[in-house]
Structure 1
Amino acid sequence: MFKRSSDSVLNQPSYTNYWVSRILSNTCFQMLSVAIGWQMYALTHSAFSLGFVGLAQFLPMVVLTLVVGHVADRFDRRVITLLCLIVEAMIAACLFAETFVGALERFQILLFAAGLGACRAFEGPASSALLPQIVRQDLVQQAVAWTTSGGQAAQILGPSLGGVLYSLGPNYVYSTVTVALVVASILNGFIRVEKTIRVHKRVSMQSLFEGLVFVYRHKVILGTISLDLFAVLLGGATALLPIFAQDILHTGAWGLGLMRSAPAVGALLMSIVFAYYPLKKAVGMTLFGALAVFGLATMLFAVSTHLVVSLIALFLVGASDVVSVVIRSSLVQLQTPDEMRGRVNAVNSLFIGTSNQLGEFESGMVAGFIGAVPAALIGGFGTLVVAGIWMYLFPSIRRIRSLSEA
Structure 2
Amino acid sequence: MDRFAAACSERELKVATGNKDQAKVSAEAAAMFADVFGRAPDGVWQAPGRVNLIGEHTDYNEGFVLPFAIGHTAKVAIRLRADNTARLISSYGDEGLVTVDLTRLAPSNMHGWTAYPLGVAWVLAQQGIRVPGFDLFLDSSVPNGAGLSSSAAIESAVALALNDLTGAALTRQELVLVGQRAENEVVGAPTGILDQSASLLSSEGHAVFLDCRSRHVEQVPLDLTLAQLVVLAVDTRVSHAHATGDYAARRASCELGAEVLGVPTLRDVSVNELSEAAGLLDDETFRRVRHIVTENDRVLSTVAVLAERGPAAIGPLLTASHLSMRDDFEISCPELDLAVETALANGALGARMTGGGFGGSAIALIPAASEAGIRQAVQTAFAHAGFRKPDIFAVTPAAGAGRIS
| Higher relative helix content | 1
Q: Please give the range of the TM-score, normalised by the shorter of the 2 chains.
A: under 0.3
> Which structure exhibits the higher relative contact order, with contacts defined as CA atoms closer than 8 Å and separated by 6 or more residues?
1
TM-score normalised to structure 2 length: 0.28
Q: Which has the higher strand share?
A: 2
Taking structure 1 as the reference length, what is the TM-score of the superposition? Answer: 0.28
